[in-house]
Amino acid sequence: MSYVADSSASDGEFNRDTDYITTRITADGRDGYPVEAGRYRLVVARACPWANRTIIVRRLLGLEDALSIGFCGPTHDERSWTFDLDPDAVDPVLGIHYLRDAYDKRVPDYPKGVTVPAIVEVETGQVVTNDFAQITLDFSTEWSAHHREGAPQLYPEPLRDEIDEVAQRIYTEVNNGVYRCGFAGSQRAYERAYDRLFTALDWLEDRLADQRYLVGDTITEADVRLFTTLARFDPVYHGHFKCNRSKLSEMPALWAYARDLFQTPGFGDTTDFVQIKQHYYIVHSDINPTGVVPKGPDLSNWLSPHGREALGGRPFGDGTAPGPTREGERVPEAHSAG
């Protein structure tokens, strides 16, 4: 997510800039960056849905020892995400306040949006990649030597075509669809985006009515990609982005599915509702010029029984749940549901 990587077309339709730094970190190092424990730092912001995916996948696969993590604060200015949560507002490993510094080291006067997630090479201080869609796939496929024992198969080879197909529709129509509503520059563009979004949500509601997960009988990359948007739907997108045909809590299958994932280790314990609301309502001053952050909604219902076990499925397949969240990486209790 970025402060300038988004723009609106002349007809008022929101268009996302998808020109990322696509260098990959791979097992064979073919792009010059081999997978190596301790060499890189994953920089995220809990507020950002695209970054939240990487936090979830890193935790599910058990990459904590191989790949350190740095957390930016929930807000930023026109220049960059910043490490406001750290002592003296400086990342303790990279030694920088502005994430832009790591982008400028890779590309002097980096001309595009400073986005999270980003993976930074610690020794050089340079961003290696900010290609969020590829990062999590590579965690599953290229970083396998560093997976924990019992790590789930989030991108199993026999299901990759279906996962890719479902994930692509989720990206265009849901993940980006809420932004297309929120940043529409005309009534016509907004209504068109609104209709596209809820057509896709209705499709997902039908798909999840009789199957526990999106693809196969275990959690996959597709579920991770949908979850981070669903978690933000009622607290932010329903009101702030005018996605208000219905709340998530009024879509029975999707709501039960979202609670099922939220209550699964790796999902709810990486979701910070306070930072999520702070980011959208403070940073998007063109939409919310007062900067007032809403007090609601009540989040305790995220912990209510979901009943999805009756559909079968095994969350982690032949693997196991991740252990407790590491010290220093935990969401404050007051920032979660309950």
Annotated binding-site ranges for glutathione: 81
Q: How many CB atoms lie within 10 A of CB 11?
A: 11
Listed in sequence order, the DSSP H helices in the chain are 49-61, 100-106, 132-141, 160-170, 177-182, 187-207, 221-232, 252-262, 273-278
**Residue in the block written with tokens 């196991």:** 320
Among residues 40, 155, 179, 237, the one annotated as catalytic is 179
Set 40, 48, 72, 155: catalytic member: 48
| Alpha-carbon span 271 to 332, nearest angstrom | 10
Count CA within 13 A, CB hemisphere, residue 194. 17
Residue 237 among the catalytic residues: no
Residues in the chain: 338
Q: Is 179 a catalytic residue?
A: yes
Tokens, residue 187 = 């009534």
- Amino acid identity of 121? E
Closest CA to 331 of 41, 122, 56: 56
SS3 content of the chain, % helix, strand, coil (to 5): 40, 10, 50
Q: Do residues 314 and 218 lie in contact, with contact meaning Cβ atoms separated by under 8 Å?
A: yes
| Spatial contact of 335 and 302, defined as CB atoms under 8 Å apart | no
From 201, 303, 179, select the one nearest 252 (Cα to Cα). Answer: 201
**CA geometry: angle 45, 175, 226, nearest 5 deg:** 85
Please list the residues that pair with 8 across neighbouring strands: 14
User: Per DSSP, what are the bridge partners of residue 174?
Assistant: none
Question: Cis ω on the peptide bond leading into residue 297 (within 30° of 0)?
Answer: yes
Annotated binding site: 81
- Catalytic residue positions, numbered: 48, 179
